[in-house]
Structure 1
Amino acid sequence: MIDKQVSYKEALKVWVKVAIYSFGGPAGQIAVMHKILVEEKKWISENRFLHALNYCMLLPGPEAQQLATYIGWLLHKTKGGLVAGLLFILPGFISILILSILYAAYRDVGIVEAIFFGIKPAVLAIVIGAVIKIGKRALKNEVMIIMAALAFVAIFFFEVDFPYIIIVAGLTGFIGGRIWEEKFHVIKGHEAKSDQENNYFIDSYIQPVKPSIKKTVKTVLLFITLWALPLVLIALWIGTENIFFSEGLFFSKTAVVTFGGAYAVLAYIAQKAVEDYGWLKSGEMLDGLGMAESTPGPLIQVVQFVGFMGAYRLSGTMDPLLAGILASFLVTWTTFVPCFLFIFTGAPYIEYLRGNKNVTTALSGITAAVVGVVLNLGVWFAIYTLFGEVNESHSLGIRWIIPEWATINIPSLVIGLIAAFVYFILKWDMLKTILVSIICGILYYFTFS
């Protein structure tokens, strides 16, 4: 049994470190938190980490940011969750704001394009590594492996929506746990805590308390009020026929449908932003996605770029840069306030039910399915990173994604192999791997382009 307390000051330092290292999309970010919080700091055990992750996977919004908020809440309640969640967002917000200003005002993006060119192969290597790590933790037996494989096939070949995969996986885990418990009860609850788990702070000191309905209602009302407050103020100040109200309302809606992470909703946002609202020009969404991929923080932070460009173009009598900056704050607010709402209202119940076998077997099934979904993202990302042309066709209800082998991007492949070598063989950390890839991208871009 450990006897060391985790101080708020110590936790703050660690959340800053997590935020700085939060590259590589959700898979890479979750891997970073696992390495720091489970392996290095031993603040939370494997089982409890996966239990929290399962819940965050169920929610709309960025699961890695919500996982940080959840664990911060476990450590130091509401203030801990707020600090962990906000710090996770802050580096990406600042980075994308600066890049958006440069992009909109100067259009001198040569160095930015070079960085994007180098960083994508590195992110690919990191995502592949994260899939392997998460798979080793979650796929404990052949049943879990089969569920992950079926989830991959469903989303990659049949384009089944992520929420449906989660629902089926949860029901399968729930029913399977009652029939074949030893295969489905992969993630144990607090009733099965081992001696080894006594070495983790949260498992030793943070025990679930029966949630309060009264407190839950207060939390819901508070965060819904905070969520709606900017829109109410804008409507009262300048009305509803303006770019700020339109963006605030639109991204409030997308915040509750982003199941499956950023990629699940980016196509919808891009279509609306270009065709319906005129916030972006064709192709600019890819530039914004490149910014989000190459900066720390959640990929869904790309909505900040969309909001900035929309307000910059449709600022009316306001200074365009000022409008873009204000829109960046507004869009980030309406996107992430719901994340805190979901964690602070749901986490107490999820923790209280952690020992319930029906809940844990359902969540074990969901975790296995999520491995397949993340693998789908890795494969999709690899194809579109390494090939210039990709043909997509449908037959018998099956989607086929076939790259044109003649269009393989040799420089990206070489940079990817270098990134894989330093990451997997030399065991360099993510920041060093990304830095090496950025340098390679810049050298290639300005030497041969």
Structure 2
Amino acid sequence: MREVSFKEALAVWIRIGFLSFGGPAGQIALMHRILVDEKKWLDESRFLHALNYCMLLPGPEAQQLATYVGWLLHGVKGGIVAGVLFILPGAVAIFALSWLYVSLGDLAVVEGVFFGLKAAVLAIVVQALMRIGRRALKNTLMPVLAVAGFIALFVFDLPFPLVVLGAGAIGYTVAKRMAMQGRLQSEPDINTETVVRAGTKRAAVVCLLLWLLTVGGLLALLGYDNVFSQIAVFFSKMATVTFGGAYAVLAYVAQQGVENFQWLEPGEMLEGLGLAETTPGPLILVTQFVGFLAAYREAAIEPSIFYASMGALLTLWVTFLPCFLWIFAGAPYVEKLRANQSLSTALAAITAVVVGVIANLALWFAINALFAEQHRISGFGVDMSLPVPGSVDLPMLALSAVAFVLVFRLRLGILPLLGISSMLGALWVLWIA
């Protein structure tokens, strides 16, 4: 790893922050192209090991990967700058779009734009499923883990941590058996020294204290029934239990925000994801939209942009502060773990089960976007929702078919896809108005 000036790194992180469209798959590909291929700051094995480590953490893997690489290059200062710049452009854009959503969302043309965005999002999520699946499902075990993960989540509604950690345990056990049988080769050339960056432990402690003081202070001052306390507790819980990357976070937030707290409707969750897809930065920024709507509608006074803004900022704070904590607490030991082949296999198994997580997300979104009614099946351990066939939304089905053609046949980029889908949605709503 060559020496890099902080000024040079700052310019690159700004560039990545403004170009990081396309969700985790696109963002990871962008960082790989710039950091490994173009700048040659990291070699291939180091980048992939860091990625697998970040996939093991709760929260958005792409933002945590940027934070990790920033820390590796310039310590705590580099990690904070890289992580914040990865978030900032998208956060500002989401805030502006959220304001427009609550201000103009009742206009026909705006409703049409978001109607079209839902169709585009379905195609984007399925595309992400196929991309990550091709990369992760490379042997007999990995596809089995992906299918098992999907069944566990969609059919039996098992907790995300249990599914993801179970996959890691299986991968670790398989690797251990292969090592005992002499079929797992070590990599003696890997440098296993612990990487030292001054102030890293102190930074982790500061992040932890700020996080705990925020949540504890709101609970003490406002009580749990206040919407701001609920936002702080819910998104803090999300930051600790949503293993498996950004798509795992989205599935968890969508189901809890819609079904449990009832802060927004299923269609609004899709519209929020559409907003996040139109902007750079991690898809988890959709949580900012959720927090914005929650505070806007459930504050003690009339719907308020000020309360909504505070809800959005609080959501950002408790969502991303733990991401910096996880990196600063674990980054010094990541390089040493590179030579542990059993752990590396466990991380690969977790990456595989994420494919099942994304499949669950894609089906959940499809059911809620394409069908007006669902019925729940429960009993004998099964707990899942299935669509009512007669409630299909034919215009949405047609728009989704167009979006799939644009993505998979014409190979249209994400921004043109969103633009065309939004225009078609607006034209449809204006035509029937």
- Smaller-chain TM-score bracket: 0.7 to 0.9
Structure 2 counterparts to residues 379-394 of structure 1, below 5 A: 379-394=363-378
Q: Which residue of 1 aligns with 2:119?
A: 121
Tell me how far apart the structure 1 counterparts of residues 37 and 197 of structure 2 sit (CA, whole Å). 35
* Residue 337 of structure 2, aligned match among 353, 378, 381: 353
Tell me how far apart the structure 1 counterparts of residues 345 and 252 of structure 2 sit (CA, whole Å). 26
Q: Which residue of 1 aligns with 2:318?
A: 334
Q: CA deviation at 1:357?
A: 1.3
Tell me how far apart the structure 2 counterparts of residues 270 and 139 of structure 1 sit (CA, whole Å). 32
In the superposition, relative to structure 1, how do residues 311 and 362 fare at CA in structure 2: closer, same or farther (>3 Å)? closer
What's the C-alpha RMSD, in Å, of the aligned pairs? 3.8
Tell me how far apart the structure 2 counterparts of residues 234 and 331 of structure 1 sit (CA, whole Å). 13
Aligned: 1:262 with 2:250: yes
Q: CA deviation at 1:223?
A: 1.1
Structure 2 counterparts to residues 42-441 of structure 1, below 5 A: 44=42, 47-105=45-103, 107-181=105-179, 191=188, 209-211=193-195, 215=199, 217-228=201-212, 230=214, 239-240=221-222, 244=228, 247-259=231-243, 260-270=248-258, 273-274=261-262, 280=263, 283-284=264-265, 286-287=267-268, 289-295=270-276, 296=279, 297-312=281-296, 320-394=304-378, 396-399=380-383, 401-441=385-425
Contact 2:116/2:422 (CA < 8 Å) preserved in 1? yes
**SS of corresponding position for 2:378:** strand
In the superposition, relative to structure 1, how do residues 107 and 434 fare at CA in structure 2: closer, same or farther (>3 Å)? closer
Q: Which amino acid aligns with 1:430?
A: I
In the superposition, relative to structure 1, how do residues 409 and 351 fare at CA in structure 2: closer, same or farther (>3 Å)? farther
Kindly provide the CA deviation profile for residues 109-165 of structure 1, in whole angstroms up to 9, marking residues without a partner as x. Answer: 544332222122222222222222222222221222222222222222222222112
TM-score between the two structures when normalised by the length of structure 1: 0.79
Tell me how far apart the structure 2 counterparts of residues 163 and 28 of structure 1 sit (CA, whole Å). 25
In the superposition, relative to structure 1, how do residues 48 and 97 fare at CA in structure 2: closer, same or farther (>3 Å)? same
Contact 1:392/1:401 (CA < 8 Å) preserved in 2? yes
Kindly provide the CA deviation profile for residues 69-112 of structure 1, in whole angstroms up to 9, marking residues without a partner as x. Answer: 22333344333332332223223322332233334455545443
Tell me how far apart the structure 1 counterparts of residues 234 and 344 of structure 2 sit (CA, whole Å). 35
Contact 2:76/2:199 (CA < 8 Å) preserved in 1? no
Q: Which amino acid aligns with 1:267?
A: Q
Report the identity percentage.
Answer: 43
Tell me how far apart the structure 2 counterparts of residues 50 and 173 of structure 1 sit (CA, whole Å). 17
Q: Which amino acid aligns with 1:341?
A: L
Q: CA deviation at 1:229?
A: 5.2
Kindly provide the CA deviation profile for residues 185-235 of structure 1, in whole angstroms up to 9, marking residues without a partner as x. Answer: 99x986467xxxxxxxxxxxxx66415699554232221233345568879
Q: Which amino acid aligns with 2:93?
A: S
In the superposition, relative to structure 1, how do residues 35 and 146 fare at CA in structure 2: closer, same or farther (>3 Å)? farther
In the superposition, relative to structure 1, how do residues 44 and 369 fare at CA in structure 2: closer, same or farther (>3 Å)? farther
In the superposition, relative to structure 1, how do residues 122 and 271 fare at CA in structure 2: closer, same or farther (>3 Å)? closer
Tell me how far apart the structure 2 counterparts of residues 123 and 73 of structure 1 sit (CA, whole Å). 33
**After the TM superposition, which of the residue ranges 9-18 and 136-145 deviates more from structure 2?**
9-18
Contact 1:63/1:261 (CA < 8 Å) preserved in 2? no
**SS of corresponding position for 1:426:** coil
Q: Which residue of 2 aligns with 1:446?
A: 430
Tell me how far apart the structure 2 counterparts of residues 13 and 213 of structure 1 sit (CA, whole Å). 22
Unpaired stretches in structure 2, ≥5 consecutive residues:
none
Q: Which amino acid aligns with 2:307?
A: A
**SS of corresponding position for 1:353:** helix
Contact 1:289/1:299 (CA < 8 Å) preserved in 2? no
Kindly provide the CA deviation profile for residues 423-443 of structure 1, in whole angstroms up to 9, marking residues without a partner as x. Answer: 333333222222222222222
TM-score between the two structures when normalised by the length of structure 2: 0.81
Unpaired stretches in structure 1, ≥5 consecutive residues:
194-206, 275-279
**SS of corresponding position for 1:256:** helix
In the superposition, relative to structure 1, how do residues 293 and 48 fare at CA in structure 2: closer, same or farther (>3 Å)? farther
Q: CA deviation at 1:370?
A: 1.7
**SS of corresponding position for 1:180:** helix
